[in-house]
Amino acid sequence: MGIGKFRGSGASAFCAAAAIIIDLALLIVFKYSGFIVENINAVSGLGLPVPQIQMPIGISFFTFQAISYIMDCLWETVPPQKSFWKFLLYLSLFPQLVAGPIVRYSVIEEEITNRRSRPSDVSEGAMRAIIGLSKKVIIANNLYAVVEQFFGGDISNMSFLGTWYTVILYSLYVYFDFSGYSDIAIGLGRMFGFHFNENFNYPFICKSISEFWQRWHISLSSFFRDYLFYVPIFGKQRKYLNLFLVWFCTGMWHGASWNFILWGLYFGIFIFIETKIGKKRMKKWNKVLTHIYSKLIIIIGFGIFYFTDLSKLGQFFLNISGASMILSGNSFSDILTLNSLLNNLFLIIFAIIVSMPVLPKIKYFFFTWGNNKVYAFGKIAGTIICCGLLVLSSILLVDNTNNPFLYFRF
């Protein structure tokens, strides 16, 4: 309200800065105070008491939504919302409140006031939510059970192939867990008449790390691109310094742990390298090699993402590089890995197929390319399949232990 009232003056910028500082201060206190004190103690030898503060669920998501709203008001992308209750509806919209995606005010500004929920919205939204639930319950939970079997304990004796096998499954797990929640959020929003932007666009078909982040967690990467990458540092925009600031913050956003910071900077380094090479040169590269290059970098990155214990992370690098075979005599392969691969082969193949853009091609065939009979058949078949997935997911949840979505903790 202050930004709008003092438009064009220094007071407007002051209001924006004050609001952002307050939002970030709350985020730092709740999410990072313990991490900061622990590191101060480690460096200085002080015995400061480490705060044990319970973190509000979804604080990273709704804090960033608030910041995006403030910046858009400052830049006159959107007018300030004069109704507190409509603003509160935006900030606490339950489908995506606790685990994203980060929805900008400009996306749903009109729908907050003039929202309509048609039967088609309810139908499409319900189907999307069921698909998201199925991703989580049928695929992600089963993948994670295998990952925990291998990575959950001591990994010092893991084989080379066993390490690669497990981290590949973990990469698929993170995708299905988070994209599944995003599907549920988008579907629930659609049922109530809100149209959220997509958060994932089949990231594993990418041919570069830059393209991967244009397809993965789109709401977060676009947030940093728009609100941090172009922010002047010491009076002017500094391309490469801003680039590493973005990736440092991307890592920090995911959690108060050094492995997340390393994970963010790890991707930042490869995006820096790709920026220096240039898009035109990279387009001339062999497509098979670019796919292999990007998948190797992405999969190793998810290993960094998994291990919050830095000593385990170091052992992970020894295992995945093959160095542990030389230094510790670890095996190249092992019977446990081969048995697990055979027992879960159908799940793995199914997960890989679903992670590719197969569903859009099927939908295009039935709902765009085909005639009325094909369209009707597609609608009926889609409804039956979704009902089957809902029943199967419900059955799997009955006797299941608690498996919260991974991004709840961020």
Reference 253, options 220, 297, 217, 292; nearest CA is 220
Exposure letters 310-329 (e unless 16+ CB within 10 A, then b):
eebbebbebbbeeebeeeee
**Beta-bridge mates of residue 233:** 236
131 near 390, Cβ under 8 Å? no
Query: How far, in Å, CA of 137 to CA of 393, rounded?
Result: 6
- What one-character-per-residue DSSP string does 336-371 give? HHHHHHHHTHHHHHHHHHHTSTHHHHHHHIIIIIS-
Query: How far, in Å, CA of 381 to CA of 379, rounded?
Result: 6
**Beta-bridge mates of residue 236:** 233
How deeply is 127 buried, as exposed, middle or buried, from its count of CB atoms within 10 A (0-12, 13-18, 19+)? buried
The residues, any chain, with a CB within 8 Å of residue 68's CB and separated by 6 or more, are 102, 104, 105, 223, 227
- In the chain, helix, strand, coil percent, each to 5? 75, 0, 25
**Residues known to be catalytic:** 254
Query: How far, in Å, CA of 389 to CA of 370, rounded?
Result: 25
- Give the chain's length: 410
